[in-house]
């Protein structure tokens, strides 16, 4: 086990083993701005990245700039007319489209801002890129802190979320894994992801959230899935002030039993940081270590793991949390005393990584917690073992041949039928990681069949998940950043000449 900056190592044992980690980051992501007074601030990703750089974590993982997701990629889950609307709407034109704004729930919580669509492309590209990396066994853990926007629905924005990168990433993982587990520790219910997979037994969703007169109002303990998906959605309703000990009294036995009976081939963990103590919109009392203990616990199963961000509105604590959790993913502990960096003043007056929880009342009594735990373990007892899944005509694994040195222009899409104009300025990112570009050969994935229906879909999952893969990563021309590019196939919708 390693430690840096004089910190202590994590305990050895099952999760003391080194993991190969891929980290997705676009230097432009912090420039997007929801508007004055809006609690969602993409700037928190830039703050997180600065902490990772100055703690020396970037050199321990592969740093990748995501390939922006394209229209057709987003349409694997989202409705075509909704994606077209997101692409075309601008602050200047929104007054002419009031009916559309209302129809797609865009306006107040989900405002129109400059670069909205490219923001969606960027954060979705990182999550799907992480899924592709895991599918190719190119890393053990993939991280996209810009992702985790779990409220977005097929045809509408919701709760600051426009595109559901998590659903898109899970659809990608389902190409390689018969079962995928989704775990959500954001303070808000992961309603968009639950809804997408409510009727299938191939995706299990488990959400720990504040319940009762709280957005989005869903996530009752009695909501357990439907049809083939019955017992494959679990909801853990919590009250104000829950602390680390109470949280893990539920989290560890429930997730431990889920791992035992569901046996997922891959896990997606949504690490929304609004469940931390002192969040601007939240009302829980978790410490950063308590929050990160969930990451550590999921890591200990040694199953391919995708970590995504989510909520978090006291941005100095969001950056602290996701920096620490990146260290947990890597198996590195580091000093509580924060190194000097460009956002150092945000972290005063103590300039430490960890913050103490408050003395707020924990409204989750032991009796309530025991009842919740017993009820959920009872649901899980109905799943005697991992479901037997028909997985016919499995697509061939996409190979990753040697890099083509003639194809090293970071601004070129090299895609004859792209429906996007790509003109990204490539900015350097801090870190001392060597550059590497891998080009993958397209394969024909047509014929992959995944016969499941999902609530809220107009079509079967095989129509959505079965024939398309995303362009997950975009190269950058900076020698300080290691970039890998897998240009995966799209079945009949083939991308590369």
Q: Is the pLDDT of residue 463 over 90?
A: no
pTM: 0.79
Ordered strands of the 305-308 beta sheet: 62-64, 21-24, 141-144, 305-308, 266-270, 180-184, 203-210, 233-238
Q: Is the pLDDT of residue 472 over 50?
A: no
| 9 or 239, greater pLDDT | 239
379 annotated as belonging to a binding site for a ligand = no
- Give me the mean pLDDT over the 33-53 stretch: 98
- Give me the mean pLDDT over the 216-224 stretch: 97
CA 449 – CA 61 distance, rounded (Å)? 34
Task: Confirm if 471 and 442 have CB atoms less than 8 A apart.
Answer: no
313 annotated as belonging to a binding site for a ligand = yes
Task: Confirm if 72 and 490 have CB atoms less than 8 A apart.
Answer: yes
- b/e map 201-224, b = 16+ CB within 10 Å: bbbbbbbbbbbeebbeebbeeebb
Query: Measuring CA to CA, which residue among 227, 225, 216 is closest to residue 192?
Result: 216
- What pairs with residue 235 in β-bridges? 207
CA 196 – CA 154 distance, rounded (Å)? 8
CA 295 – CA 304 distance, rounded (Å)? 13
209 annotated as belonging to a binding site for a ligand = no
Tens digits of residue pLDDT in 114-171: 999 999 999 999 999 999 999 999 999 999 999 999 999 999 999 999 999 999 999 9
Which range among 24-28, 139-143, 307-311, 474-478 shows the weakest confidence by mean pLDDT? 474-478
- Location of structure tokens 């431990």: 256
Q: Is the pLDDT of residue 353 over 80?
A: yes
312, two tokens:
């978090």
- What pairs with residue 267 in β-bridges? 181, 305
- Give me the mean pLDDT over the 65-72 stretch: 96
Catalytic status, residue 151: yes
Q: Is the pLDDT of residue 424 over 60?
A: no
- Give me the mean pLDDT over the 375-382 stretch: 96
- What pairs with residue 286 in β-bridges? 276
Q: What is the pLDDT of residue 18?
A: 82
Q: Is the pLDDT of residue 99 over 70?
A: yes
Which residues are CB-neighbours of 93 under 8 A, at least 6 positions away? none
159 annotated as belonging to a binding site for a ligand = yes
- Per-residue pLDDT band for 390 (boundaries 50, 70, 90) equals low
Q: Which listed residue (151, 189, 209, 291) is catalytic?
A: 151
Q: What is the pLDDT of residue 351?
A: 97
278 annotated as belonging to a binding site for a ligand = no
Q: What is the pLDDT of residue 17?
A: 73
Domains of the chain in sequence order: 21-381 (3.40.800.20)
Task: Confirm if 447 and 175 have CB atoms less than 8 A apart.
Answer: no
290 annotated as belonging to a binding site for a ligand = no
- Per-residue pLDDT band for 387 (boundaries 50, 70, 90) equals low
Q: What is the mean pLDDT of the chain?
A: 81
Cα 187 to Cα 38, 42, 205, 251, 340, distances in angstroms: 18, 18, 15, 14, 31
CA 292 – CA 326 distance, rounded (Å)? 9
- Give me the mean pLDDT over the 98-111 stretch: 96
Question: Taking the C-alpha atoms of 261, 291, 245 and 258 in order, what is their torsion angle to the nearest 10 degrees?
Answer: 0
CA 395 – CA 448 distance, rounded (Å)? 6
- Give me the mean pLDDT over the 439-464 stretch: 34
- Give me the mean pLDDT over the 451-459 stretch: 32
The secondary structure of residue 304, as a DSSP letter, is -
């Amino acid at each position: 086990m390693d430690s840096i900056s004089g910190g202590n190592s994590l305990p050895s044992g099952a999760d003391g083993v080194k993991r190969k980690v891929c980290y997705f980051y676009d230097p432009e992501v912090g420039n997007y701005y929801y508007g004055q007074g809006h609690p969602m601030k993409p700037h928190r990703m830039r703050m997180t990245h600065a902490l990772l750089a100055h703690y020396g974590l970037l050199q321990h993982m592969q740093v990748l700039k995501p390939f922006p997701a394209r229209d057709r990629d987003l349409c694997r889950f989202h409705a075509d007319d909704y994606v077209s609307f997101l692409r075309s709407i601008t602050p200047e034109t929104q007054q002419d489209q009031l009916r559309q704004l209302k129809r797609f729930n865009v306006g107040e919580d989900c405002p129109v801002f400059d670069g909205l669509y490219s923001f969606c492309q960027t954060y979705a590209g990182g999550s799907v890129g992480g899924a592709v990396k895991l599918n190719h066994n190119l890393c053990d853990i993939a991280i996209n802190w810009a992702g985790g926007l779990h409220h977005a629905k097929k045809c509408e924005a919701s709760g600051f979320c426009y595109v559901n990168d998590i659903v898109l990433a899970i659809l990608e993982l389902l190409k390689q894994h018969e079962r995928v587990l989704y775990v959500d520790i954001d303070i808000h219910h992961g309603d968009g992801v639950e809804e997408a997979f409510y009727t299938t037994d191939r995706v299990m969703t488990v959400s720990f959230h504040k319940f009762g007169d709280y957005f989005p109002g869903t996530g009752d303990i009695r909501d357990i899935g439907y049809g083939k998906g019955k017992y494959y959605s679990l909801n853990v309703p919590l009250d104000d002030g829950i602390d680390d000990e109470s949280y893990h009294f539920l989290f560890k036995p429930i997730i431990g039993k889920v791992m035992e009976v569901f046996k997922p081939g891959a896990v997606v963990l949504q690490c929304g940081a609004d469940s931390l103590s002192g969040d601007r919109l939240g009302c829980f009392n978790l410490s950063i270590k308590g929050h990160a203990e969930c990451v550590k616990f999921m890591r200990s199963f040694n199953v391919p793991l995708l970590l995504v961000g989510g909520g978090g509105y006291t941005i100095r604590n969001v950056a602290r949390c996701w920096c620490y959790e990146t260290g947990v993913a890597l198996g590195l502990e580091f000093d509580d005393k924060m190194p000097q960096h460009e956002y150092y003043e945000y972290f005063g007056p103590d300039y430490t990584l960890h913050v103490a929880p408050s003395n707020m009342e924990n409204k989750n009594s032991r009796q309530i917690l025991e009842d919740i735990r017993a009820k959920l373990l009872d649901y899980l007892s109905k799943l005697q073992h991992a479901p037997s899944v028909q997985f016919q005509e499995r697509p061939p694994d996409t190979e990753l041949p040697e890099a083509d040195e003639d194809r090293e222009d970071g601004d070129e899409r090299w895609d004859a039928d792209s429906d996007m104009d790509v003109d990204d300025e490539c900015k350097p990112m801090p870190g001392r990681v060597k550059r590497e570009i891998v080009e993958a050969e397209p394969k024909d994935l047509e014929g992959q069949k995944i016969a499941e229906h999902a609530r809220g879909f107009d079509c079967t999952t095989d129509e959505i998940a079965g024939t398309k893969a995303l362009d997950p990563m975009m190269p950058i021309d900076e020698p300080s950043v290691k970039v890998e590019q897998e240009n995966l196939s799209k079945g009949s919708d083939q991308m590369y000449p």
